[in-house]
Copies of this chain bind each other. A is one copy, B any other.
């Protein structure tokens, strides 16, 4: 769409004047092939609409938060009830205690919880608590992993000083020898090991942790009396209701949560074990909106509904249906589609597609037909994705793949 009815382009032009570069961060449309919309105006269930009124079956779910679909009626009813009473007040609402209890009850490693607003708030608090609780400084981080967007962890080094990362030591995800080497390097100064729920670096194959790697990470942290920190910001509540590393039989000392925790309401959390309870009282972390009740009421409704309906199993079944259907379609066309990651958090890459020509084309062909895929980032399914929606998606993907194959 272009010309007089192109509201998206009009907004982009206006934004150029008042927002540096027209947009910032991960949602900047420059990170996508040309043809994607920048602005959105609506979301409902598993569908979203852009500023030009085009609707899509959505596989980004607002980049993760929408785990029950946009405007889930149960979550929104709970939020509305709390809003009627109060959101931000001079202290927390009772929803704080209810939510902390629910998380401790639902997440096996958790003896306590703290809340904040951003995933970065939670990962940063985990690192700070690990240091406070051990009196040590070194944090082991997987090469290429994303843990947030402030100087100690942000992907761009602009404005970052060397000191911001002075006590980080890198290892390779799923590589036990490299983790052991990093532990050796930390020596007596090891405060914690931070691991993503799985390896979900942008533009790369997504890889689940091996049981051996997870067990060794746990063992190394325990031996050093350091914190094993699971960053479950992106994956939390999609792979396992009790935390993603339940799947590999390993429990963290500290976990960071955000994205899906309140079905789109701004909230983040740290959960921790008793080993780090005292340390969590010693650090000072807070924010003006961190005890606001509405997002907590939304989180209680979200977690409860996911648990009671076994939302994870549904998302897994839908993800599998999509993966198998897509693979059959691609194979039959001779397109070397490599799907990876958990089925409910997939990434679609094509073999030998270093310049993203195939992947971008496929995603644009799907977009033009009303399906929103992302060519390089983790995607997300929600419980609002039904078998009928997956089948509708597959009809479109068949055409999109055919058009891609023809264009090559």
Interface residues of A (CB under 8 A from B): 7, 11, 14-15, 17-21, 23-27, 29, 37-43, 48, 50-51, 58, 60, 62-66, 70, 85-94, 96-97, 100-101, 103-104, 111-114, 116-121, 124, 127-133, 137, 149-152, 154-156, 158-161, 163-164, 166-167, 233, 258-259, 264-266, 272, 277-292, 295, 372
Instruction: Evaluate whether A288 and B112 lie within 8 angstroms (CB atoms) in the complex, with A18-B101, A166-B163 already known.
Output: no
A-B contact pairs, 26 of them (CB 8 A): A11-B94, A14-B101, A18-B111, A18-B113, A19-B100, A20-B277, A20-B280, A27-B90, A40-B91, A40-B93, A42-B85, A42-B89, A62-B88, A62-B90, A62-B288, A64-B288, A65-B88, A66-B88, A88-B266, A131-B160, A131-B161, A132-B159, A155-B284, A158-B283, A159-B282, A264-B292
Kindly state the separation between the CA atoms of A60 and B128 in the bound complex, as whole angstroms.
Answer: 29
**Which of the residues B14, B25, B70, B289 comes within 8 Å of A266, measured between beta carbons?**
B289
Kindly state the separation between the CA atoms of A272 and B281 in the bound complex, as whole angstroms.
Answer: 36
Kindly state the separation between the CA atoms of A92 and B288 in the bound complex, as whole angstroms.
Answer: 23
As for how many copies of this chain the complex holds, the number is 2
Are the C-beta atoms of A89 and B40 separated by less than 8 Å?
Answer: yes
Kindly state the separation between the CA atoms of A15 and B94 in the bound complex, as whole angstroms.
Answer: 10
Are the C-beta atoms of B18 and A104 separated by less than 8 Å?
Answer: yes
- Closest chain B residue, CB of each to CB of A38: B91
Are the C-beta atoms of B101 and A128 separated by less than 8 Å?
Answer: no
- Closest chain B residue, CB of each to CB of A287: B118
Which residues does chain B contribute within 8 Å of A118, judged by CB atoms? Answer: 116-118, 121, 287-290
Kindly state the separation between the CA atoms of A83 and B401 in the bound complex, as whole angstroms.
Answer: 36
Beyond A17-B101, A25-B287: 6 further Cβ-contacts under 8 Å?
A21-B281, A27-B90, A60-B90, A127-B159, A158-B279, A163-B163
Which residues does chain B contribute within 8 Å of A91, judged by CB atoms? Answer: 27, 29, 37-40, 50
Instruction: Evaluate whether A43 and B279 lie within 8 angstroms (CB atoms) in the complex, with A24-B114, A114-B19, A161-B131 already known.
Output: no
Kindly state the separation between the CA atoms of A48 and B293 in the bound complex, as whole angstroms.
Answer: 14
Are the C-beta atoms of B41 and A86 separated by less than 8 Å?
Answer: yes
- Closest chain B residue, CB of each to CB of A165: B163
Instruction: Evaluate whether A287 and B163 lie within 8 angstroms (CB atoms) in the complex, with A113-B18, A264-B88, A280-B20 already known.
Output: no
Are the C-beta atoms of B86 and A70 separated by less than 8 Å?
Answer: yes
CB distance from A247 to the nearest CB of B (A): 23
Nearest 6 interchain pairs by C-beta = A25-B286, A132-B159, A156-B284, A128-B159, A40-B89, A21-B281
CB distance from A169 to the nearest CB of B (A): 14
Are the C-beta atoms of A158 and B282 separated by less than 8 Å?
Answer: yes
Kindly state the separation between the CA atoms of A91 and B19 in the bound complex, as whole angstroms.
Answer: 14
CB distance from A253 to the nearest CB of B (A): 13
Interface centre among A24, A93, A290 (most CB of B within 10 A): A24
Kindly state the separation between the CA atoms of A48 and B87 in the bound complex, as whole angstroms.
Answer: 11
Kindly state the separation between the CA atoms of A359 and B286 in the bound complex, as whole angstroms.
Answer: 25
Kindly state the separation between the CA atoms of A200 and B278 in the bound complex, as whole angstroms.
Answer: 30
Kindly state the separation between the CA atoms of A4 and B115 in the bound complex, as whole angstroms.
Answer: 29
CB distance from A385 to the nearest CB of B (A): 15
Kindly state the separation between the CA atoms of A25 and B116 in the bound complex, as whole angstroms.
Answer: 11
